[in-house]
Amino acid sequence: MKLYLDPAQSKEVPALIRSPNKTRKRYPEGVVETVASEAEALERAADGLHPAIVIGPSRSSEGFRIYYLVRWL
* DSSP output for 6-59: -TTT-EEEEEEEE-SSS--SEEEGGGEEE-S-HHHHHHH-BTTEEEEEEEEEEE
8 A C-beta contact, residue 52 and residue 71: yes
Banded model confidence at residue 60, pLDDT cuts 50, 70, 90: confident
What residues does each domain of the chain span? Answer: 11-72
Look at residue 22 and tell me whether its pLDDT is greater than 70.
yes
Rounded to an integer, the average pLDDT of 17-40 is: 95
**Mean of per-residue pLDDT scores for the chain:** 89
Spatial separation of the C-alpha atoms in residues 57 and 12, rounded to whole Å = 9
Banded model confidence at residue 2, pLDDT cuts 50, 70, 90: low
Q: Is the pTM of this model over 0.75?
A: yes
